[in-house]
Structure 1
């Protein structure tokens, strides 16, 4: 990445991030192996939908930015909605999601679409989930407005994001090791929709009925584990020879910093908004 812009929204990089399912799988695996505190996000989403929706089994549910389909599968199993729509702009992600939801106990359709322009009619969905995806929009308010358009009266939007300073310890480590001296000054990947601004983005568009914040903590076992994560993130400006090579990153880290466990944190925010009228 050569631009100071957020890599999740920069047009020169965003389209490449999810061309292959393996990169997101490696990123998720590195974080899951490190996680020592925090609930499973997909299960929390399903809990919130159950708590705030009167009859989920009659609902049409849309899972925006469904990625590899983890939340789609949990929603299908837990809510048993009339129809679940797994939506993503990446064909690679949809292929992975389709395999994950195969055999789900409800009807599931995988749709390739831009969340700025959902291929859904007005007042269609009783639940719209947007987990860890709003920060891919340069202006998330446009996506939230699209979510509001497709919600039925009384329908709920469940939005999930992270704090802007997530994994700050890794920024400090990368800068200290000299592999990206400007690491601490790079824009947050979550800068457009994060724990600190999600309510302000949503409130003018949809009434907010519930917000909760939860700290997630991660203990990377050592520099090899850290490198496995760093090789999947677009945040840093690493030399091209090492950018996606965990072994080369780990070697470079060891040359400057002590190989020891590394603890990082991120606040995960859940927000529920409800459409209160049929207009």
Structure 2
């Protein structure tokens, strides 16, 4: 999955265009070789964000030759997406490409019929319009991104970066994706099912105890931490802790802990020869059976299969 094509037309957003360019268009062959080859496809002189003119590498017909096609946010939702863009995205999908939309790029995928019967997301502000215009789409406005195999959609702005890093993780493993995130100074992984924080803003880090709690907990993933342990460390009741956790992370303390335990297990499976039993102990999962159950449920494959797949990719790059 090394060739990535970025579909550009008049009115695409600055941010959703820049995010994939930064992730896939910068040579990072020191992390994985070969790295991605990014091609910008669209009409000559396409206007980006109403301010800049872009000179693409080739026309929209170039999408059909890419392994992955990314459709950034499309600005004018009152108009139908350009027919040539819709046709090119549809043709790329028929050719076997992985199709990705960022923010309101989902409207283009829906117009191409690629979201019919699928679960998909977009920016929460535009989710009602997507659902009304394309009733065959199962719109989920409460998540950061949706991975439906060959078709992936993200919510707005920062969620676009989350989905781009998710693609790197799928292709090259957690260690490489985390290294890219560190270089971009962004969180290495926010779960796709995490809330978009539509109604409740995250509290100022200086006004709550969770920033310190996160660091404390992540250093103790090998221990059998409970909600009561976390609440005691944060000096608040379990109920109050749950309320703060939901406001800051969009999930519960136990789900947050489990996600980070699984993430740590992925890293150990990719970078060490430790047994599944040893990794279960190192990540606080207790037993190998418990790790296998939660890992399979979260990642979709057993730990041994994951190791064979991603150790091979890491060794190749």
User: TM-score if structure 2 supplies the norm length?
Assistant: 0.28
More helix by share: 2
Which protein has greater RCO, CA pairs closer than 8 Å, 6+ apart?
A: 1
Which one has the largest radius of gyration?
Answer: 2
More strand by share: 1
User: TM-score if structure 1 supplies the norm length?
Assistant: 0.30
